[in-house]
Structure formats: C-alpha cells, structure tokens
C-alpha cells in the first residue's frame, strides 16, 4: 500500500477545488443524488457492513470476495477479446477454469498462485480503447459514480455476472442470501476508502469524483497511464504514479463495479 499517501494528498488537494469542470456538466444534479446515496448508505449498508466485518474474520471475507470476483471473469474475458488482448483473454479463461474447479467454485484464488493474475476489464474500458470520449460524469441513485461512456459497460457487466443468475440454480432463500452477501461484502471492502473520504476531504463529492475518474484512467491504461494527460477525459486531473497501489484501487472500484 506504499502509494496510498501520494494518492490521498492528490485527492485532498483536488477536493479543495469547487469550480465546475467540463466533464461534470450535471454537477448540481449529481451532488443531490450523491447526498441521497450517502444518507441511504449511512442508514443501511454501512452499519450492516460494519457488523459483517466484526462478525466474519478476514479469511471468510476473502473467500466471499474470491467467489464473487470469479463470477465476474466472463465480463473481463469478453472485453479482453474486444480490446485485442488475446493473451490476457486466454490467461483469464484458464484462470476462470482453474478457480472454478480446483478453487472450489472460485472460493479460493488458486490461479494467482499459479502465475495467473486477475485482470479487470469492462466495456467502458473497451469503448475508451476504441476512442470514445468519457462524456459527462453521472452519479446514479444507489449505483453511484459513472459516466456516459461507462454506462453501457455497467449494464453489460450485470448481464455477464454469474451472480445475476443465482435464481436459475438456487431457491429463493439462497438467492436472496447470496445476493445480500455480495453487496454487503462489496460495501465492507470499500470502508477504508469511505473513512478516508470522511476524514480528509473538504468536499466529499469532488474527492469521490476525482478518485473515480483516476481509477478509470488507471484501468484503461492497464496501470500505466501517461505521465501527462490533457485529453477530453482528463483535463485538470492529477498525474499518476506508475507504482499506484492496485490494492487501494480495488477497494475503490468494488463500490461501483
């Protein structure tokens, strides 16, 4: 986690700015939705997630995270192909098969120990690789930060997520239980980021917006974004360090995947 202080300083300074950016023309509406989401989270998921963390040891939470990550692999594999990353597509296919079998339905990340790391690709990244601009930043009720370009990817990710089809293979109580576990576990995984936002940000909305945008750029460039970025997507954004910590990035992304 060695680069977290660098990121936090960048986000802290960014949060001091309140001027509307050209990539956020809907800021007024977005702030209202963001306030609604925050109030809803504080009243529901956050206290539940805190209870979950207190009751379930780290090992158990890791097993749950591995299981749900594995169900998202088909989305990554497809977008690897669409981006022309055939090597990664083959690697992630083998990873999916290994973790689904040897890893007991994805509960254990055996593939990573075999030199098959997890990649994170989605259709929003694919559209960026194809040359589509980010478009307006959007905050959706409950779902949180997004953009015009990333919205189709959110829909496709839902369609390709194995968790979407629990009801086809399990009865109602199991389906409800697994679905609840997915969202509670996801919320627990980003609690550290939320604490940092609450403690450090002068403007929580800007803090989250810039963090989300930086995370997207990080993934679009596979962890190696340009040292200087002045495109439509990233005017006025902070520079990235090549050693940006992926663990923190995972925490942030899990809230909105």
The reported pLDDT for the residue numbered 221 is 94
Beta strands in 168-227 (DSSP E): none
Residue 104 DSSP label: T
Give dist(CA 223, CA 22) in Å, integer: 25
The reported pLDDT for the residue numbered 226 is 85
Rg (CA), the chain: 18
Q: What is the rounded (10 degree) CA torsion for 207, 231, 120, 167? A: 70
For 138-175, what is each residue's pLDDT tens digit? 999 999 999 999 999 999 999 999 999 998 989 999 99
What lies within 8 Å, CB to CB, of 23 at 6+ separation is: 134, 136, 137, 147, 213, 232, 233, 235
The reported pLDDT for the residue numbered 10 is 43
Cβ neighbours, 10 Å, residue 83: 20
The reported pLDDT for the residue numbered 129 is 96
Main-chain dihedrals φ then ψ at residue 80, nearest 5 degrees: -60, -45
What lies within 8 Å, CB to CB, of 72 at 6+ separation is: 157, 160, 161, 162, 257
The reported pLDDT for the residue numbered 42 is 96
**Residue whose C-alpha is closest to residue 144's, from 209, 216, 219, 197:** 209
Residue 67 DSSP label: H
Give dist(CA 158, CA 167) in Å, integer: 14
- Stretches where the chain sits below pLDDT 70 are 1-20, 228-257
**Residue whose C-alpha is closest to residue 91's, from 68, 111, 63:** 111
Give dist(CA 63, CA 208) in Å, integer: 28
In DSSP terms, which residues pair with 140 in a beta bridge? 144
């Amino acid at each position: 986690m060695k680069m977290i202080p660098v990121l936090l300083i960048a986000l802290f300074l960014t949060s001091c700015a309140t001027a509307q950016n050209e990539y956020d023309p809907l800021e007024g509406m977005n702030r209202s939705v963001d306030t609604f989401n925050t109030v809803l989270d504080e009243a529901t998921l956050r206290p539940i997630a805190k209870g979950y963390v207190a009751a379930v040891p780290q090992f158990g939470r890791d097993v749950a995270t591995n299981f749900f990550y594995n169900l998202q692999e088909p989305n990554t594999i497809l977008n690897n192909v669409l981006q022309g990353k055939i090597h990664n597509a083959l690697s992630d296919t083998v990873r999916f098969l290994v973790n689904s079998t040897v890893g007991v339905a994805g509960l254990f990340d055996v593939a990573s120990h075999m030199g098959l790391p997890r990649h994170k690709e989605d259709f929003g990244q694919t559209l960026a690789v194809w040359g589509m601009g980010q478009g307006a930043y959007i905050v959706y009720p409950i779902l949180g930060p997004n953009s015009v370009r990333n919205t189709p990817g959110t829909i496709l990710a839902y369609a390709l997520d194995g968790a979407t089809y629990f009801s086809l293979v399990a009865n109602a109580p199991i389906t409800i239980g697994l679905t609840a576990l997915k969202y509670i576990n996801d919320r627990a995984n980003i609690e550290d980021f939320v604490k940092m936002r609450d403690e450090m940000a002068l403007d929580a909305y800007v803090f989250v917006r810039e963090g989300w945008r930086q995370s997207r750029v990080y993934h679009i460039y596979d962890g190696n974004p340009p040292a200087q970025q002045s495109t439509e997507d990233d005017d006025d954004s902070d520079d990235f360090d090549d050693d940006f910590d992926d663990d923190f990035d995972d925490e942030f992304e899990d809230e909105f995947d």
